[in-house]
């Protein structure tokens, strides 16, 4: 190369622009939400659709970190986050690395989402912060189930605590407000068919007199077509996620009534009937007002579940009040135990989590349907088993932990369980003692966390890549370009380095893009008639041109070896394997490519390609893992290393063709990779 060629520089710039757009394509396809911001002003330079979907927010061009002011977020404990306390701000401004933090966010449309967030600063070679990246995932469903279960358990305890249902209802509305509503009222139909308001609560006690005034001055008319009367009559709930103020005010019976309704500000509304033994006893109304929150279908399900229990409690206490002879008392006790049993069954069957009830030796007394689903054993099978039969760590560990549980009265932690089919499921378990008079049973709630583990792993892997592997070639490209800029002089060495690093970056990005496509199932094979002999010869020739220290020899069949394959993809696999053979044979030497045909099981024919090198080899401990996504074996030889995706992609492509890929290796004397492709007919 001689002097500065504008065309060459232009090409390099174009290449960089193309890399960036491909990088964006990857971000968009990732099944995780990602936002990247620039330092120091925190302007958002990249965000993917997943992020917009989770936050229900479209990022405008001038969105920056301080725009967090427009969000409300709460920590696990419930305290609000200041704009500077959001993970992206902390990574950007303080260089903090934030891992797996959970935040409750109120989104653009008022609904809630719980996100698990990782965030890290992006740094230049010199260490200065140039930006920050945040990766997050929606974990609302799990948290909601947990909260719903805890809520129902607490409610059931309260409901069975007293036979005086007026006291009980007051406790229940205490439980509902402010977590599940800004204000809430319970209306009951009395003996003569009139409506009585038995309990109410507003999150701001200064509004309670307004609720009293509303009830006293504007009582519900029995024939009214509006809730709660319509709900009590029909026995069907009403669910209005967003309520128009005009609609509410239209129902007003005068100026003061309108004013009261305006002050009470009904923005989102649920009213559920209280039904026991097929009779409507009343209704509970849940209202979100000034908090701006919005009810979701899950809230309706929870409200119905709660109403079912409240209704049974009211019914029981009415029966109790109306019966006094011994026989009637027995009947009541029987009914009560029946309904307690029904409540208990409903609770454990409804739970999405696995619930195991065991005795003091860990043998199962009761299990719910979710347990069979998780573990693969039927209910009947599980009832003959105990916790020691399920833990993957063996009975010694189990016995030790079980003793700890007995001593403390509770146990929480993560452990691995073995399913009936032998597969291991990682779970999170919480166990407590439930005392029943003199006896006690042991209740364990278990949740499958394999998805969470996978997501966490993926988040970590992705963070490493963005913050390190992709960053370092970019840093040297930028460095060399700036060097030329400063000296106002073209330099062959700098341009060579830029071209080399761009090619390396291109390979990394292509690998990421391929892996993302394969994962999204979006990579289709374009099958055509392909001659494997000719294809292997071409690819080997191409690879030979890239190396001086190695001799690539081919051992090919005499004639054509045809099949119905995707030629480009098969070339890609051979090229990957050859480039590994070259990279991992630093001392040079022979690389042999063999192509042939053999018979597979069932008399079918298959073609095979084997690539044998005499390089550093792979230790047995790494052999099992080298085809995994992002797996790289750490050897001294890690010169221009990839992302650990090459073999993962190769395996996916071979398997998409219906073939297999295997490896055999001897550390110190070389490796042989072999893959097969089916031949029809």
Using CB under 6 A, list all residues that contact ligand ADP. 580-581, 584, 613, 615-618, 626, 631-633, 635, 641-648, 671
Kindly state the smallest distance separating residue 533's Cβ from ligand ADP, in Å.
23
Nearer to ligand ADP, 440 or 663 (CB): 663
Residue 287's closest CA among 141, 173, 143, 188? 173
Q: Return d(Cα 322, Cα 475) in angstroms, integer.
A: 82
Q: Which residues contact 74 (CB under 8 A, 6 or more apart)?
A: 80, 81, 103, 104, 105
Kindly state the smallest distance separating residue 591's Cβ from ligand ADP, in Å.
9
Tokens 């490209």 identify what position? 477
Nearer to ligand ADP, 74 or 631 (CB): 631
Nearer to ligand ADP, 354 or 580 (CB): 580
Kindly state the smallest distance separating residue 472's Cβ from ligand ADP, in Å.
14
Q: Which residues contact 517 (CB under 8 A, 6 or more apart)?
A: 29, 523
Kindly state the smallest distance separating residue 618's Cβ from ligand ADP, in Å.
5
Phi-psi region of 637 (alpha: psi -120 to 50; beta: other; left: phi over 0): beta
Question: Which H helix or E strand runs over 562?
Answer: strand 562-565
Q: Return d(Cα 567, Cα 642) in angstroms, integer.
A: 23
Quick check: helix, strand or coil at residue 231?
Answer: helix
Q: Please work out, in degrees rounded to the nearest 5, the angle formed at the alpha carbon of residue 264 by the alpha carbons of 262 and 267.
A: 85
Nearer to ligand ADP, 48 or 671 (CB): 671
Q: Which residues contact 165 (CB under 8 A, 6 or more apart)?
A: 198, 313, 314, 317, 318
Kindly state the smallest distance separating residue 289's Cβ from ligand ADP, in Å.
57
The two beta strands, 562-565 and 605-612, are unpaired
Kindly state the smallest distance separating residue 518's Cβ from ligand ADP, in Å.
13
Residue 249's closest CA among 226, 229, 232, 233? 226
Contact (Cβ atoms closer than 8 angstroms) between residue 544 and residue 574: no
Long-range CB contacts (within 8 A, 24+) of 56-59: 56/107, 56/108, 56/109, 56/111, 56/113, 57/107, 57/108
Nearer to ligand ADP, 239 or 648 (CB): 648
Kindly state the smallest distance separating residue 122's Cβ from ligand ADP, in Å.
22
Kindly state the smallest distance separating residue 581's Cβ from ligand ADP, in Å.
5
Nearer to ligand ADP, 591 or 677 (CB): 591
CA dist list (Å): 330 to 38, 165, 276, 327, 640: 73, 20, 20, 5, 82
Kindly state the smallest distance separating residue 650's Cβ from ligand ADP, in Å.
7
Radius of gyration of the chain from its Cα atoms, rounded to whole angstroms: 33
Nearer to ligand ADP, 42 or 617 (CB): 617
For 289-316, give one letter per residue: b (16+ CB within 10 A) or e. beeebbbbeebbebbbbbbbbbbbbbbb
Residue nearest ligand ADP by beta-carbon distance: 642
Kindly state the smallest distance separating residue 521's Cβ from ligand ADP, in Å.
20
Nearer to ligand ADP, 605 or 625 (CB): 625
- Sign, Cα dihedral of 322, 326, 330, 333: positive
Contact (Cβ atoms closer than 8 angstroms) between residue 576 and residue 654: no
Nearer to ligand ADP, 391 or 580 (CB): 580
Q: What are phi and psi of 439, to 5 degrees?
A: -90, 170
Q: Which residues contact 672 (CB under 8 A, 6 or more apart)?
A: 610, 611, 612, 613, 663, 664, 665
- Sign, Cα dihedral of 473, 479, 485, 488: negative
Nearer to ligand ADP, 172 or 626 (CB): 626
Nearer to ligand ADP, 143 or 517 (CB): 517
Kindly state the smallest distance separating residue 471's Cβ from ligand ADP, in Å.
17
Kindly state the smallest distance separating residue 19's Cβ from ligand ADP, in Å.
17
DSSP state of 179: T
Nearer to ligand ADP, 276 or 647 (CB): 647
Kindly state the smallest distance separating residue 135's Cβ from ligand ADP, in Å.
22
**C-alpha 277: how far from its chain's center?**
41
Nearer to ligand ADP, 59 or 631 (CB): 631
């Amino acid at each position: 190369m001689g002097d500065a060629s504008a065309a060459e520089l232009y090409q390099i710039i174009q290449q960089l622009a193309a890399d960036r757009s491909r990088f964006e394509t990857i971000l968009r396809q990732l099944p995780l939400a990602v936002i990247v911001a620039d330092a120091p002003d925190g302007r958002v330079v990249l965000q993917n659709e997943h992020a917009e979907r989770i936050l229900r927010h479209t990022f405008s061009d001038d969105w920056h970190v301080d725009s967090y002011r427009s969000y409300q977020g709460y920590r696990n404990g419930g305290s609000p986050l200041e704009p500077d306390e959001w993970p992206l701000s902390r990574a950007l401004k303080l260089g903090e690395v934030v891992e797996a933090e959970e935040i409750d966010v109120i989104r653009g449309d008022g609904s809630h989402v719980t996100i698990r967030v990782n965030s890290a600063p992006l740094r230049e070679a010199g260490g200065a912060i140039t930006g920050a990246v945040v990766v997050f995932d929606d974990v609302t469903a799990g948290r909601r189930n947990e909260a719903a279960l805890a809520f129902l358990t607490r409610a059931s305890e309260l409901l069975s605590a007293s036979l005086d249902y007026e006291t009980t209802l007051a406790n229940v509305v205490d439980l509902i407000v402010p977590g599940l509503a800004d204000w809430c009222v319970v209306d009951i139909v009395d003996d003569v068919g009139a409506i009585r308001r038995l309990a109410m609560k507003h999150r701001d006690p200064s509004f309670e007199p307004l609720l009293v005034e509303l009830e006293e001055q504007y009582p519900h008319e029995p024939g009214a077509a509006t809730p709660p009367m319509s709900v009590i009559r029909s026995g069907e709930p009403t669910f209005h996620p967003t309520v128009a103020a005009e609609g509410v005010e239209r129902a007003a019976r005068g100026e003061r009534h309108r004013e009261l309704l305006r002050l009470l500000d009904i923005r989102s509304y649920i009213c559920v009937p209280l039904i026991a033994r097929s009779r409507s006893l009343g209704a509970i109304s849940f209202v979100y007002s000034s908090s701006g929150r919005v009810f979701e279908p899950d809230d309706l399900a929870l409200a119905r579940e709660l109403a079912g229990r409240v209704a049974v409690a009211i019914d029981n206490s009415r029966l109790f009040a109306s019966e006094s002879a011994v026989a009637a008392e027995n009947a009541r006790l029987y009914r009560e135990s029946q309904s307690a049993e029904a409540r208990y069954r409903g609770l454990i069957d409804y739970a999405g989590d696995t619930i195991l009830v065991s005795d003091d030796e860990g043998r199962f007394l009761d299990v719910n349907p979710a347990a069979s689903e998780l573990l693969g054993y039927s209910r009947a099978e599980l009832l003959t088993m105990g916790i020691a039969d399920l833990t993957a760590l063996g009975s010694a560990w189990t016995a030790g932990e079980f003793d700890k549980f007995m001593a403390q009265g509770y146990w929480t932690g993560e452990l691995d369980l073995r399913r009936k089919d032998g597969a291991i499921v990682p779970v999170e378990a919480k166990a407590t003692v439930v005392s029943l008079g003199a006896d006690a049973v042991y209740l364990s709630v278990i949740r499958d966390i394999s998805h969470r583990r996978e997501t966490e792993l993926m988040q970590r892997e992705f963070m490493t890549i963005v913050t390190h592997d992709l960053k370092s070639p970019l840093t040297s490209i930028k460095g060399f370009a700036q060097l030329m800029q400063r000296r106002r002089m073209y330099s062959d060495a700098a341009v060579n380095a830029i071209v080399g690093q761009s090619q390396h970056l291109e390979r990394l990005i292509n690998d990421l893009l391929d892996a993302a496509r394969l994962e999204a199932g979006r990579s289709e094979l374009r099958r055509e008639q392909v001659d494997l002999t000719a294809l292997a010869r071409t690819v080997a020739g191409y690879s030979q041109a890239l190396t001086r220290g190695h001799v690539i020899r081919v051992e090919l069949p005499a004639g054509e070896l045809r099949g119905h394959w995707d030629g480009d993809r098969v070339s890609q696999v051979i090229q990957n394997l050859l480039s590994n053979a070259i990279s991992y044979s630093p001392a040079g030497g022979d690389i042999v490519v063999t192509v042939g045909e053999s018979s597979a099981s069932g008399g079918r024919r298959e073609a095979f390609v084997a690539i044998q090198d005499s390089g550093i080899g792979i230790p047995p401990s790494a052999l099992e893992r080298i085809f995994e996504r992002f797996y790289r074996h750490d050897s001294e030889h890690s010169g221009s290393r990839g992302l650990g995706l090459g073999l993962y992609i190769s395996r996916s492509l071979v398997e998409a063709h219906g073939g297999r890929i295997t490896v055999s290796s001897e550390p110190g004397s070389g490796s042989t990779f072999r893959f097969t492709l089916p031949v029809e007919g």
